[in-house]
Structure 1
Amino acid sequence: MPDIDQRFWKGRRVLVTGHTGFKGTWLTAWLDQMGAQVTGFSAAPPTQPSLFEASDLATRIDHVEGDVADLLAVEEVLARSRPEVVLHLAGQSILARGHAEPVETFRTNVMGTVSVLEAIRKVGSVRAAVLVTSDKCYLDQHKTCGEDDPLGGLEAYGASKACAEIAVQAYRSSFFPGSFTCGIASARAGNVFGAGDFAANRLVPDLARAFLRNIPPRLRSPDAIRPWQHVLDAVGGYLLLAEMLYERPEAYSTAWNFGPEAGSEWTVGEIADVLARAFGMQGWESAPALPVREEAILRLHTARARRLLSWKPQLTMTEALHWTAQGYKRLDRTGDTSWLGEQIELYRGRLQLRHLSGQTRDEPIELPILHTRTSGGGNHVAA
């Protein structure tokens, strides 16, 4: 995978929607480290505690709170900040909440995306826009899904993400056809995890809460397979795609999957076993399934990103889970968030070394291990 070009991002005007969420915080922190002029537009942090608040990112960027489905508010922030690059991550991201609150889920995920696209169309300053949806946007999830497969959803969350993808396609075809001035791409990532995620009904945060309290976690579907990946592999893909879109919008304005290497997918139970050892714990229990359809197997075909972006995951699952445990333990013990910048720097160092040496993903490079500190418990368990 090519190195993310700090020279491209330094001083670049960038709008990140959803910057107060888990994935948005990691992306914003990376952009901030590279010297980008970041404007963040999002609702208030969706969880308490919040990695965004703990990291104090609001003091280092132009932080704006608002409703992404409010077209006037989105247009106002784009007109004021005049971004050159837009990274749209705002949305309702929890499958179970989509079942409980379908109207709000469709409103946020569909009309939020439409509002961002309309504001981009009007402002005239944007050269590249990456709109993040989900791997759940595919109609048939019983096979390895590629970007050109039919979109759809049998529950509110997946259906709303499919609708968002259709909106991206419509705007790209109607208002940016064959565009040489503004690239419009969508990104469909697999199940992303990392330290600092505190969402309910999401596997790794639920496991971390349990392990920090020395309580055996409860797993709904221990044999389920998902395209797991560390958050830095996903947001690194978004940044790389944005760079390529900016330089060649006519060539990269399409949909992109970002997921693990074929055959490397892990089950929920395997994730729990490795993370337990990283926390010094053992064991888990079974829990009832959610009252919403959830596929047992979901895999992504990522050849497009690998071939045309030279993107590929940089962290093995074991590495990613150990980095995740280290961050959670340090945050839980002291409120320390310096590990966030440290992990971004280590990841960037890995990209630079592999890029300079021409090594492939399968050729290991020794990098320093982040310092591990013990911690006490204090988070709630969610089934």
Structure 2
Amino acid sequence: MRVLLTGLTGPVGSFLADYLLTLPAVEVHAFKRWRSDPRPIAHLLERVTIHEGDIEDPFAIDRAIAKAAPERIFHLAAQSYPSASWEAPIHTLRVNVEGTVNLLEAVRRHVPTARVHIAGTSAQYGTVAPEAIPIGETHPMRPGSPYGVSKVAAELTGLQYHDNFGLHVVVTRSFNHVGPRQGDRCSIQTFCRQMAAIELGLQEPILRVGNLEPRRDFTHTRDVARALWLLLEHGQPGEVYNLCSGQATRIGDIVQMVVERGRVPVEVQIDPARLRPSDEPILRGDNRKLCAATGWKPTIGMVEIVEELLAYWRMELAR
């Protein structure tokens, strides 16, 4: 079976490729930007067929789909940071919406029977009242950032291609994913990277943080990769599934976990530059639909995540 994924160097892409390569008789292809950082995928370069291009270029993704002729497609490529979407809203919309259209048009032309996954986000829900927690797939969407708006449009685009052209499209609304090789834009990553830098004497002993009160639903990227495969195999086309752990952890409690596992004392300090124009108080998903369809459940908890990321950043910065 030939599988193609976009966004190979992103937060989930390399872990999904790792998982796919453990499956029997699976040939992995990937579409990536030529300028993407190759370090997260160095271990994959001899095992994955890479097609280079930009998701905003319809001709590039068309060539990749035609050449790879995949039977399964995971569309992960995106501008995936809400904070960056405030700085570059038009770019975010182009990458996330036009990129999805470009992919689906290529699928419709070359591999109309392929199964396609489109990655959405919990940011599509926006601010949710406490009584609506955990958030189910039927909850209204009221995104609070350009990123969230772009993902609503990408989701609806995918469902429209299912309804009008019969494509096998499955959509996830993914809550926070976290793991190594992710960069340091995510909150947990910034905390762990700073702690590692402080331990090495690369930063003064001040851990700079943003809003500590929000509660977020985190899932490790290895658990996410397994869920995506199961969902494309067993999920219903034209359906949307929350991909989440079903648990929400306060950001301040995560900071405390990092501080407790640090090797030197630090001061925790609020940095106004890390505060967003809007910040949902709690995002916790209801994952029962996904679990019922696939038998999946998360296996890696928050303590393990923090410990793994601290070890990862200590190793990275020590280099």
Task: Find the counterpart in structure 2 of residue 277 from structure 1.
Answer: 260
The TM-score, its normalising length taken from structure 2, stands at 0.89
Matching residue within 107, 113, 116 for 2:103: 116
Shift of 1:119: 1.2
Task: Find the counterpart in structure 1 of residue 216 from structure 2.
Answer: 226
User: What secondary structure sits across from 1:67 in the alignment?
Assistant: coil
Identity %: 25
2-structure distance, mates of 1:164, 1:277: 40
User: What secondary structure sits across from 1:257 in the alignment?
Assistant: strand
Shift of 1:291: 4.6
Shift of 1:317: 1.5
Distance 1:61 1:279, change over 3 A: farther
Distance 1:105 1:25, change over 3 A: same
Task: Find the counterpart in structure 2 of residue 209 from structure 1.
Answer: 193
Distance 1:168 1:243, change over 3 A: same
Distance 1:83 1:125, change over 3 A: farther
Q: State the one-letter code of the partner of 1:274.
A: M
Q: How does 1:39-50 map to 2 (within 5 A)?
A: 39-44=29-34, 46=36, 50=39
2-structure distance, mates of 1:227, 1:259: 6
Q: State the one-letter code of the partner of 2:281.
A: A
Matched length: 307
2-structure distance, mates of 1:25, 1:295: 29
| 1:266 aligns to 2:249 (yes or no) | yes
1-structure distance, mates of 2:265, 2:106: 50
| Residue pair 1:22, 1:51 contacting (<8 A) in 2 also | no
| 1:318 aligns to 2:308 (yes or no) | no
| 1:20 aligns to 2:9 (yes or no) | yes
User: What secondary structure sits across from 1:185 in the alignment?
Assistant: strand
Q: How does 1:2-81 map to 2 (within 5 A)?
A: 12-34=1-23, 36-44=26-34, 46=36, 50-52=39-41, 55-81=42-68
Name the structure with the higher strand share. 2
Structure 1 residues without counterparts, runs of 5 or longer: 1-11, 177-181, 246-250, 335-383
Q: How does 1:37-186 map to 2 (within 5 A)?
A: 37-44=27-34, 46=36, 50-52=39-41, 55-124=42-111, 126-142=113-129, 143-144=132-133, 145-176=135-166, 183-186=168-171
2-structure distance, mates of 1:172, 1:83: 17
Matching residue within 213, 230, 250 for 1:240: 230
Shift of 1:282: 4.5
Distance 1:211 1:46, change over 3 A: farther
2-structure distance, mates of 1:45, 1:194: 22
Shift of 1:286: 1.4
| Residue pair 1:20, 1:45 contacting (<8 A) in 2 also | no
Structure 2 residues without counterparts, runs of 5 or longer: 199-204
Distance 1:235 1:98, change over 3 A: same
Give a deviation string over 1:260-299, Cα, whole Å, max 9, x none. 23xx311111112213334434542212153522212112
Shift of 1:110: 0.7
The TM-score, its normalising length taken from structure 1, stands at 0.75
User: What secondary structure sits across from 1:229 in the alignment?
Assistant: strand
User: What secondary structure sits across from 2:56 in the alignment?
Assistant: coil
2-structure distance, mates of 1:160, 1:223: 26
Give a deviation string over 1:171-222, Cα, whole Å, max 9, x none. 111111xxxxx5210111111111222143x212211221111143211111
Task: Find the counterpart in structure 2 of residue 364 from structure 1.
Answer: none
Q: State the one-letter code of the partner of 2:289.
A: R
1-structure distance, mates of 2:142, 2:7: 23
